[in-house]
């Protein structure tokens, strides 16, 4: 399934975890100094995290007064979108379409800040292009983005919080005059959201059927076991090349991502209004939202490898939400190159316009070297229809909240 941006045969999961731990210790995973961090609050959360929980669900902090973080990151849908839209709507009138599919916020607490591994692999970071260096930084943009919560500036967010029923608790946690300084208060809002995501077990419960299987508490059905084998097999699904399925060297449960980036050449999604402009392209690591790597043309079109935990609950896949179900997703992985006409439009001359969501100069960046992308038209796909069924069955074991019957 997804393969690495560059071959990582020498990269070990233990090394990635070590790097993540080191970066977290240096603040890379988003720690900020705050007096409220260690103050106990209700539910076992710190005072900052408890405030973050309130902020996360507070619709009054949006220009529309009808949208909160939870609107797009529903706790009942694995902290991802609850609907089937390719991209969500926001803005002051909730009529502004976004540009990317909403990712899940689960299992992000161990994500390291963005860095380049020794072999040159771009790794870590938050958002689909890794531009945010911490959960706190990631939390800031939706509050201000015109197509999301659409506040005119930090002062507008803080003014709304002054009217919130938890304003006094915010002052108690961060200082009596904190709400008099918009910049400082906005930073603490983001910090509180970060701490909520880091501390609340609901964001990283590790209670799926697969977790219980690894713990020896349940067994997988035959189809699920077959799917796991296909998921791991380098010449079949090859999914584990990026979506690590084995326990870490320290026994930690797998995150089903190695934090790397890949260019899969996914089809252009005409449901996104921005794509009506033929000159518009979302190139991930090299822009338009991320600007520091704009000159790294070799990275254009690469997006972060997401965790596959709870993937069976999703209704929009890839950065542009072009697919709405797992069967199409896996079918695309294994038949992108054997049957490109199934996924891409034809041009005026009748030729298949492969990798049509990349400008021609960057189409060569699409991964064509690693299985299952190393095939040609006329060759057999890496997975048969029955094998796709088995992989889907396995992916269903990654859904949180499993209870044995």
Residues 183 and 261 placed together within one structural domain of the fold: no
Residues 175 and 293 placed together within one structural domain of the fold: no
Q: Tell whether the model's pLDDT for residue 146 goes beyond 60.
A: yes
Residue 173 falls inside a structural domain: yes
Question: Per-residue pLDDT averaged across 183-204, rounded?
Answer: 98
Band of pLDDT at residue 196, cut at 50, 70 and 90: very high
Q: Are 305 and 257 in contact (CB under 8 A)?
A: yes
Q: Are 4 and 260 in contact (CB under 8 A)?
A: yes
Which residues, in sequence order, are bridge partners of residue 304? 261
Q: Which helix (H) or strand (E) holds 223?
A: helix 222-232
**Whole-prediction pTM:** 0.89
Residues 272 and 380 placed together within one structural domain of the fold: yes
Q: Are 312 and 329 in contact (CB under 8 A)?
A: no
Longest dimension (CA), the chain: 70
Residue 403 falls inside a structural domain: no
Residue 64 falls inside a structural domain: yes
Residue 20 falls inside a structural domain: no
Q: What is the DSSP annotation of 155-209?
A: HHHHHHHHTSTTHHHHHHHH-TTGGG-HHHHHHHHHHHHHHHHHH-GGGS---SH
CA-nearest of 307, 310, 318 to 263 is: 318
Q: What pLDDT is recorded for position 36?
A: 52
> 313-348: string of b/e by CB count within 10 Å (b at 16+)?
bbbbbbbbbbbbebeebbbbbbbbbbbbeebbeeee
Helix (H, G, I), strand (E, B) or coil at 319: coil
Answer whether the bond into residue 288 is a cis peptide, omega within 30°.
yes
Torsion region of 235: left, alpha or beta (phi above 0 gives left; psi -120 to 50 gives alpha): alpha
Residues 178 and 273 placed together within one structural domain of the fold: no
Band of pLDDT at residue 178, cut at 50, 70 and 90: very high
Final residue in a domain of this structure, among 146, 172, 203: 203
Band of pLDDT at residue 361, cut at 50, 70 and 90: very high
Q: What length is written for the chain?
A: 405
119, two tokens: 């072999």
Determine the Cα–Cα distance for residues 115 and 125; give it in Å rounded to an integer: 8
- Percent of the chain scoring above 90 in pLDDT: 89
Residues 169 and 274 placed together within one structural domain of the fold: no
List of residues 6+ apart from 3 with CB closer than 8 A: 238, 241, 242, 262, 367, 369, 370, 371, 372, 373
List of residues 6+ apart from 42 with CB closer than 8 A: 50
Determine the Cα–Cα distance for residues 189 and 49; give it in Å rounded to an integer: 10
Q: What pLDDT is recorded for position 405?
A: 74
Residues 165 and 262 placed together within one structural domain of the fold: no
Residues 251 and 310 placed together within one structural domain of the fold: yes
| Comparison of pLDDT for 235 and 8, the residue scoring more | 235
> 262-283: string of b/e by CB count within 10 Å (b at 16+)?
bbbbbbbbeebebbeeeeebbb
Band of pLDDT at residue 224, cut at 50, 70 and 90: very high
Final residue in a domain of this structure, among 140, 175, 203: 203
Residues 284 and 199 placed together within one structural domain of the fold: no
Residue 405 falls inside a structural domain: no
| Number of domains the chain contains | 2
238, two tokens: 């090859």
Final residue in a domain of this structure, among 148, 176, 203: 203
Residues 66 and 97 placed together within one structural domain of the fold: yes
Residue 286 falls inside a structural domain: yes
Residues 386 and 299 placed together within one structural domain of the fold: yes
pLDDT digit string (tens) for 45-102?
A: 999 999 999 999 999 999 999 999 999 999 999 999 999 999 999 999 999 999 999 9
Residue 378 falls inside a structural domain: yes
Residues 59 and 96 placed together within one structural domain of the fold: yes
Residues 282 and 356 placed together within one structural domain of the fold: yes
- CATH code where residue 377 lies: 1.10.760.10
Q: How many CA atoms lie within 13 A of 206 on its CB side?
A: 14
Residue 7 falls inside a structural domain: no
Residue 275: which domain range?
209-398
Determine the Cα–Cα distance for residues 283 and 294; give it in Å rounded to an integer: 9
Q: Tell whether the model's pLDDT for residue 30 goes beyond 90.
A: no
């Amino acid at each position: 399934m997804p393969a690495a941006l560059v071959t990582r045969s020498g990269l070990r999961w233990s090394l990635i975890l070590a790097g993540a731990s080191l970066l977290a210790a240096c603040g890379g995973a988003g720690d900020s100094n705050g007096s409220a961090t260690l103050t106990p609050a209700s539910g076992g959360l710190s005072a900052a995290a408890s405030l973050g929980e309130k902020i996360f669900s507070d619709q009054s902090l949006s220009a529309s007064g009808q949208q909160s973080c939870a609107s797009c990151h529903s706790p009942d849908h694995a902290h991802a979108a609850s609907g089937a839209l390719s991209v969500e709507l926001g803005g002051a009138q909730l009529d502004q379409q976004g540009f990317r599919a909403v990712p899940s916020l689960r299992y992000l607490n161990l994500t390291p800040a963005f860095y380049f591994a020794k072999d040159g692999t771009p790794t870590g970071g938050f958002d689909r292009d890794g531009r945010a260096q911490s959960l706190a930084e990631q939390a800031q943009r939706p509050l201000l983005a015109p197509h999301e919560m659409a506040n005119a500036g930090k002062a507008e967010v803080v003014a709304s919080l002054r009217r919130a029923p938890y304003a006094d608790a915010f002052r108690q946690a961060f200082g009596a005059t904190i709400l008099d300084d918009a910049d400082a208060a906005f930073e603490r809002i983001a910090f509180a959201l970060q701490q909520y995501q880091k501390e609340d077990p609901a964001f990283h419960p590790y209670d799926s059927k697969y977790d219980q299987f690894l713990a020896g508490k349940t067994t997988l059905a035959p189809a699920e076991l077959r799917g796991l084998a296909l998921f791991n097999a380098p010449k079949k699904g090859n999914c584990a090349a990026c979506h690590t399925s084995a326990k870490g060297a320290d026994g930690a449960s797998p995150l089903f991502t190695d934090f790397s980036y890949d260019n899969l050449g996914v089809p252009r999604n005409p449901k996104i209004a921005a794509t009506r402009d033929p000159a518009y392209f979302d190139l991930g690591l090299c822009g338009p939202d991320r600007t520091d790597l704009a000159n790294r043309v070799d990275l254009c079109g690469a997006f972060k490898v997401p965790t596959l935990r709870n993937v069976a609950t999703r209704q929009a896949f890839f950065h542009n939400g072009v697919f709405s179900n797992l069967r199409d997703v896996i079918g695309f992985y294994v038949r992108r190159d054997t049957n490109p006409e199934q996924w891409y439009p034809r041009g005026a001359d009748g030729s298949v316009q492969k990798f049509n969501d990349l400008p021609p100069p960057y189409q060569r960046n699409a991964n064509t070297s690693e299985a299952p992308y190393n095939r040609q038209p006329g060759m057999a796909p890496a997975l048969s229809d029955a094998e796709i069924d088995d992989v889907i069955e396995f992916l269903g074991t990654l859904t949180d909240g499993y209870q044995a019957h």
